[in-house]
Amino acid sequence: MNTVNKTARTAGLLYLVYMVFHIFADVIGRSKLIVYGDAATTAQNIVASAWQFRVGFIIDLLAAALFLLTAWALYRLLEPVNRNLALLFLLLNLTGVVMQCFSDLFLLAGQLLLSCADYLKVFQPDQMQAQAMFSLYLYKNGFMIAQIFFGAWLFPLGYLVFKSGFLPRVLGIVLMLHCAFWLMTALQFFLFPGFSGITYISWPLGFIAEFGLTLWLLIKGVKDPKPTLSYAQN
């Protein structure tokens, strides 16, 4: 197996494992336990499933690390096409990962506020539940800020896929379209919180773009770039 193909398959494997971890963290640590707008039910769920909540938190951090490693592998794969653009999508991904990990602190804070620790007994139960919900809303907003960077990194990534010559151009086009709709989804969250129409387009488009790239890298891999390929540095 040539070096370029090995790098491609490594990127595909990391991307796939990241997706599995991210979905698993959401299923066991967030979607089934957090009921936004219902502080009492959320508090009851988190207290009753404290260990599950923390496992989801740890898996979420691991998923973030895997996503950064995926971006690094893709950087190594696409750096010869254009080093500056490859570095750009790597830095955008890194910024999103940092923002997501920071927002996870508010996720953990929500559980700490419900832990019934001695130093928290000065607060009434309903006060603690309200503060925990506020912390979870901060997490949700921080997570969506991270999505702006996770959306932005898709454009230089898609452009390099399109220009590479060793990956399908259609994947590059879909990735760039996914960038536009994912950014609109994040802006929709902050500007029109009651509207979710764009989400119905961005989610399936994202599945096609990112999962399609993952499967191609993992199953098909890539061939050595042709000698005529332009290895631009700017």
pTM, entire model: 0.89
Is 78:167 a contact under the CB 8 Å cutoff?
Answer: no
Q: Which amino acid is at 116?
A: C
Find, among 81, 150, 87, 142, the residue nearest to 110 by Cα: 142
Mean pLDDT, residues 208-231 taken together? 76
Task: Give the integer Cα–Cα distance in Å for 168 and 212.
Answer: 10
Angle between helices 125-152 and 169-191 (to 10 degrees): 150
Give tens-digit pLDDT for 15-69. 999 999 999 998 887 888 999 999 999 999 999 999 999 999 999 999 999 999 9
Give the pLDDT score at 220: 87
Residue with tokens 């994040």: 186
Is 149:96 a contact under the CB 8 Å cutoff?
Answer: yes
Q: Give, in order, the Cα–Cα distances in Å from 128 to each of 44, 50, 123, 213, 217.
A: 12, 16, 6, 44, 47
State the virtual CA torsion across 58, 31, 23, 75 in degrees, nearest 10: -70
Give Cα 96 to chain centroid, integer Å: 8
Where is 41: in which H helix or E strand?
helix 39-48
Task: Give the integer Cα–Cα distance in Å for 180 and 14.
Answer: 24
230 band by pLDDT with thresholds 50, 70 and 90: very low
- In terms of pLDDT, which residue wins out, 148 or 227? 148
Give the pLDDT score at 86: 97
Give the pLDDT score at 222: 80
Mean pLDDT, residues 194-218 taken together? 90
pLDDT higher than threshold 70 for residue 146: yes
Strand partners, 82: 232
Q: Which amino acid is at 122?
A: V
pLDDT higher than threshold 60 for residue 187: yes
Mean pLDDT, residues 172-180 taken together? 96
Contacts within 8 Å (CB) and 24+ apart, 200-204: 202/178
Give the pLDDT score at 228: 38
pLDDT higher than threshold 80 for residue 116: no
Is 189:202 a contact under the CB 8 Å cutoff?
Answer: no
Give Cα 115 to chain centroid, integer Å: 28
223 band by pLDDT with thresholds 50, 70 and 90: low
Task: Give the integer Cα–Cα distance in Å for 37 and 179.
Answer: 30
Strand partners, 232: 82
pLDDT higher than threshold 50 for residue 120: yes
